[in-house]
């Protein structure tokens, strides 16, 4: 039964990530998560934010699924659909605003 529940959660994560250009799995008290959410706000992006510590017992289960999918057991766990952003012509702009783009481009 638990594996069925885990695979349902995994499917839910995959659907959530596929359906949104930017998804942040976070915890309200985590300073790293706060920094990431502030950064996106500064960039004018409104990611879908899922606060694991506000989901009750499902939060830790979801975090285990994220760890299984990504190998990362901490938050923030950020998913960005880079291809979708590129096709919409937004990726370079976002990278430029974040100073991540090389000045030798």
Closest CA to 47 of 84, 19, 28, 21: 21
The pLDDT, as a whole number, for residue 37 is 95
Integer Cα distance of 9 and 2 in angstroms:
10
Q: What size, in residues, is the chain?
A: 105
Q: Are 2 and 34 in contact (CB under 8 A)?
A: no
Query: What is residue 30's three-state secondary structure?
Result: coil
CATH superfamily entry for domain 4-103: Glutaredoxin (3.40.30.10)
Q: Are 85 and 94 in contact (CB under 8 A)?
A: yes
Instruction: Please list the rounded mean pLDDT of every run of 10 residues in the chain (105 residues).
Output: 67 92 95 94 91 95 93 92 81 74 48
| pTM exceeds 0.75 for this model | yes
Three state DSSP letters for 72-89: CCCCCEEEECHHHHHHCC
The pLDDT, as a whole number, for residue 6 is 64
Q: Are 17 and 23 in contact (CB under 8 A)?
A: yes
């Amino acid at each position: 039964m638990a594996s069925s529940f885990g695979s349902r959660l995994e499917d839910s994560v995959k659907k959530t990530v596929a359906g949104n250009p930017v998804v942040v799995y976070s915890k309200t008290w985590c300073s790293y998560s706060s920094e990431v959410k502030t950064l996106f706000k500064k960039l004018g992006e409104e990611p879908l934010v899922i606060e694991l510590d506000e989901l009750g017992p499902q939060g830790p289960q979801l975090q285990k699924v994220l760890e299984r999918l990504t190998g990362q057991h901490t938050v923030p766990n950020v998913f960005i659909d880079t291809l979708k952003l590129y096709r919409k012509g937004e990726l370079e702009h976002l990278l430029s605003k974040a100073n991540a783009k090389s000045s030798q481009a």
